[in-house]
Amino acid sequence: MLGSSSGLLPAPPLLPSVAKNSKWAIRYKRCTAKEKPVRLPSGGSKKLLCHSRFCFPLRISNNDRVRHGFAISAVLTDDPTMTTVGDGMENIGLVSIDPGLESFKDHFRYRMKRYVDQKKLIERYEGGLEEFALGYQKFGFNRDEGGIVYREWAPAAQEAQIIGDFNGWDGSNHRMEKNEFGVWSIKIPDSGGNPAIPHNSRVKFRFMQGNGVWVDRIPAWIKYATVDPASFGAPYDGVYWDPPTSERYEFKFPQPPKPNAPRIYEAHVGMSSSEPRVNSYREFADNVLPRIRANNYNTVQLMAVIEHSYYASFGYHVTNFFAVSSRSGNPEDLKYLIDKAHSLGLRVLMDVVHSHASNNVTDGLNGFDIGQGAQESYFHTGDRGYHNLWDSRLFNYANWEVLRFLLSNLRWWLEEFKFDGFRFDGVTSMLYHHHGINMAFTGDYNEYFSEATDVDAVVYLMLANYLIHNILPDATVIAEDVSGMPGLGCPVSEGGVGFDYRLAMAIPDKWIDYLKNKSDLEWSMNEISRSLTNRRYTEKCVAYAESHDQSIVGDKTIAFILMDKEMYSGMSCLTEAPPAVDRGIALHKMIHFITMALGGEGYLNFMGNEFGHPEWIDFPREGNGWSYEMCRRQWNLADMEHLRYKFMNAFDRAMNLLDEKYSFLASTKQIVSSTNEEDKVIVFERGDLVFVFNFHPEKTYDGYKVGCDLPGKYRVALDSDALEFGGHGRVGHDADHFTSPEGIPGVPETNFNNRPNSFKVLSPARTCVVYYRVEESEESHDDDDEMGLNEILAADVIPEQEDVEEAASQAKVGKPHLVDGDGDGSGLSKTVDFEVEDMGDDASDD
């Protein structure tokens, strides 16, 4: 077989193995292995159906009877590149895009065959992938005529009962029955016309192990779980959640359309309060979402939404996969948050963790593992089922019921809560049997396609992406992968894994290395440019200078590395900025902006980093006395008019607005024309904008010649040195820059830096300036209308209520409304203001 991956079909001959002796190691939630994507070279029965170690139960209807006899639908009916299925699978689109993958065609044929066959089996026995992913309508608690039906897959259990508040925690009168597929079920009739299990009451699944010992577990498909906050270390309880219509939140706003490029605000609801406590979904919706919209992000990525018993795990040790984190509220509260985001034109992505599960036995899915074989468990057995560095359990992606559980989990969050997509965590761990541990990824294709590849997990991810995009065609799905596996961001129909984007995880490590280990004059313009542009053709990346990883205790944010202790004493605008602060603010703006402009097709920022939030993140734990002091966001720093944090916040808002107007992130035109090591200047074009970054700590260049594509007149679109952004105001915004032709048209070697035109600019030290070309049709416009974004005010981060209500009444979902706050008609040189539309009576419910 291919590695230790189990499958339905014989594997091709083994491919070359990877080296095992690397010094690198992946740590929990912080990977030291570097992402080095490679550039392209030029050029029916009622019995259990079993095969090997897999058991495939037939479709289970709501009355627990096996059904079959439905038609098999076509496989890959939307696939333009694959004309046949099986041994004749020659037209793999991914290979035609990258000829360097030709020698790995056997691997792609094998995994596509595995994917197609798995999909066919699901269609044959479950009615299709989408039907299969409705497991939450069959398992767990569901209303049926005259009662509540509860089902649980626990084949290793000898006996089972349902217990809870409703029966005094005595399950002797509520014993469950087991079918041939290991599914326990019971129907609990209504009592007096009311459900026997009251809404919001506690429940647990009690079962007897093989040794005769009874244990209580939270139901695997539970939709809500809570813990007694007054009792330290108390176990969680499952909660039956079925609110009456009057208490059920109803969505009021449509999901915003998919943007040309995602500008993502990564957020953690619990730590979003300015006070040292856990914040709520509703408080986040009312207080934080308007900030995000005001800074011109179009997408919110929510961390730690799925229930996790250990708060300090940052949400990555999931215990209850279908339950919202109860620390911040109940399921209806989360729906309110998402609907409010949609009313502002913000899409919402979930940080979903299907790479592993908490090893917590009492509260989590691991409690169903009582030593049974892999085919009767959610997890692999032995070492393969345990992640040594994360101290967590690893799923058996080849198991039929695991596939049902995980795929249904995705559909649940999409349909019940209206999420707009996912960021899949820990994908590197899923893709390889070694999980990336002690593995240095160099870009050698043998590292990606060998017996080390976990084909079971790859097939699951292919099924997941196919399902997500079928249910929600506008979904955005992002992979957190540090390895750079080719094809991860290509469609399933082309032989890829199907993600829309991958995170460009090497970029923040490069910045941290420069900031900690190099003086300013040692920074290499070539190396910075290569690091930002080193990504695979046709596979989109989300770039970021820092995320939550760089803020975790033991590390520092970029702002804190740059300014350190000066952030406590040198941030007042009432005194002259210390040199460390002047340098820090300038480089903070430049690092984030060049990462956005050159690093990918999307951009991500973690909550608070947009204004240079000081210090670090440290969740309450025994080591800090269970303090929340470092587990919050000090929004007041950005709001205070006399503090310099406002300058970084204003620039963040402006660079997002620049993309809103010019859509440079979505442009495929990206040309780096100059990386001058002596001058410390990088010049590049993205779309039709020209970017000039001067990283030199001292030198200002007057009449600096920059190349461009199109001839004409250019003006400043964005200037990091503007006074509004804490700069020194050295660049004039009223100047016109006219181009001069360079060399022979159509002969790049005769041009200036291979560009057919050029113009001259003033480039001060430690600044970045963007220039846009004035269209002929705009020549007659007033100069103020043409100036673009430079006078976006740093104040008014959160607009007044009456202003935002007016803005919201004029704004369409997903489109910004440019508010002319001064009434002077100057258009873009204003703040983009949004406010939540009337959310009805729910808006006042806490």
The two three-digit tokens of residue 461, written as one number: 């991810």
* CA pair distance 5, 199, nearest whole angstrom: 43
d(CA 183, CA 139): 9
Q: Which residues are catalytic?
A: 425, 480
What one-character DSSP code corresponds to residue 138?
T
Rounded CA separation 219/648 (Å): 47
Q: How many CB atoms lie within 10 A of CB 31?
A: 24
CB-side neighbour CA atoms (13 Å) of 515: 26
Give the type of residue at 226. Answer: T
Distance separating alpha carbons of residues 503 and 497, to the nearest angstrom: 15
- 201 strand-pairing partners: 240
Tell me the helix, strand and coil percentages in the chain, rounded to 5: 30, 20, 50
Give counts: helices (H), strands (E), the chain: 18, 37
DSSP per residue over 304-320, as a string? S-EE-S-GGGTT-S-SE
Task: Tell me the two tokens of residue 33.
Answer: 């292995």
**Separation of alpha carbons 302 and 328, rounded Å:** 12
Residue 379 DSSP code? B
Contacting residues for 576 by C-beta, under 8 A, at least 6 apart? none
Supply 420's token pair: 């707009």
Dist CA 135 CA 127 (whole Å): 12
As given in the structure block, the two tokens for residue 809 are: 């009444």
Distance CA(399)–CA(456), nearest Å, equals 9
* Pairwise CA distance, residues 55 & 463, whole Å: 18
- Give which of 436, 421, 445 is closest to 94, Cα–Cα: 445
158 class by beta-carbon count within 10 Å (0-12 exposed, 13-18 middle, 19+ buried): middle
Residues 6+ apart with CB under 8 A from 667: 686, 687
- How far apart, in whole angstroms, are the C-alpha atoms of residue 609 and residue 632? 13
CA distance 539 to 499: 9
Structure token pair of residue 103: 């020698």
The whole-angstrom separation of Cα 188 and Cα 203 is 13
Q: Which two tokens stand for residue 649?
A: 């916040």
Q: Are strands 159-164 and 201-208 parallel, antiparallel or unpaired?
A: antiparallel
Residue ranges of the alpha helices (H) in 599-639? Answer: 636-639
Rg (the chain; Cα; Å): 28
Tell me how far apart the alpha carbons of residues 459 and 115 are, in angstroms, rounded to a whole number: 5
**Cα torsion 811, 816, 821, 825: sign:** negative
For 38-102, give the secondary structure using H, E and C. Answer: CCCCCCCCCCCEEECCEEECCEECCCCCEECCCCCCCCCCCCCCCCCCCCCCCCCHHHHHCHHHH
CB 733 within 8 A of CB 719: yes
Contact 440, 24 (CB under 8 A): yes
Do the bridges between strand 299-303 and strand 347-352 make them parallel or antiparallel, or are there none, so unpaired? Answer: parallel
Alpha helices in 602-708 (DSSP H): 636-639, 645-662
AA identity, residue 630: M
